């Protein structure tokens, strides 16, 4: 069945390329968000909403510099996850039983980090857009939280099976 192996390897290559593109796109997204906030910062009002209730309405306010806390978290976490997800050897935990199994688990961990980074980027972008620009960022918040949940659950499931 050489055709089956070929199809499987082509599928795996396509998945690696898609995840690589998502990895780079997430970093570009984070850079764009950071640049947008930094450029808009001087024109932001002196007081920004810093907390939103379940209804989506702002229920606490703070100085505009408060926007830097979630921005710093986004940049630090995003860059860290980008770096960690770049090479399975960075997350490889030696397995005495089977080096192949350890390598599979490391690849799954990298894939999980890439998806989690995209989810965190969307989630924190929604927070920043809500704070700085008074946007209804519910779609970004829901997409980010959903992607983060899928990344964690599927990553744990796949790591246990690897």
Q: What is residue 3's predicted lDDT score, i.e. its pLDDT?
A: 54
Q: CB-based contacts of 113: which residues, under 8 Å, 6+ apart?
A: 81, 84, 85, 91
Q: What is residue 2's predicted lDDT score, i.e. its pLDDT?
A: 53
Query: What average pLDDT values come out for the chain (162 residues) when binned by 10 residues?
Result: 62 82 95 96 89 76 92 96 87 71 84 94 92 86 93 90 77
Judge contact between 148 and 128, C-beta under 8 A: no
Q: Which one, of 102, 87, 72, 83, lies nearest residue 27 by Cα? A: 83
Task: State if pTM tops 0.85.
Answer: no
Q: What is residue 5's predicted lDDT score, i.e. its pLDDT?
A: 58
CA dihedral of 37, 43, 48, 54, whole degrees rounded to 10: -60
Query: Which segments of the chain does DSSP mark as H helices, in order?
Result: 2-40, 68-84, 99-133, 138-161
Q: What is residue 87's predicted lDDT score, i.e. its pLDDT?
A: 84
Distance CA 68, CA 77 (A): 14
């Amino acid at each position: 069945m050489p055709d089956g192996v070929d199809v499987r390897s082509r599928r795996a290559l396509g998945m690696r390329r898609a995840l690589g593109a998502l990895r780079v796109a997430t970093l570009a997204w984070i850079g764009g968000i950071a640049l947008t906030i930094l450029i808009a910062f001087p024109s932001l009002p002196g007081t920004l909403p810093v907390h939103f209730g379940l209804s989506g309405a702002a229920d606490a306010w703070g100085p505009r510099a408060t926007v830097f806390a979630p921005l710093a978290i986004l940049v630090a976490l995003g860059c860290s996850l980008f770096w960690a997800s770049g090479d399975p050897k960075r997350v490889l935990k030696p397995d005495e039983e089977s080096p192949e199994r350890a390598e599979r688990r490391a690849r799954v961990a990298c894939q999980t980090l890439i998806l989690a980074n995209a989810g965190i980027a969307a989630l924190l972008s929604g927070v920043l857009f809500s704070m700085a620009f008074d946007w209804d960022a519910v779609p970004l918040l829901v997409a980010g939280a959903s992607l983060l949940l899928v990344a964690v659950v599927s990553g744990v499931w796949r790591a246990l099976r690897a």
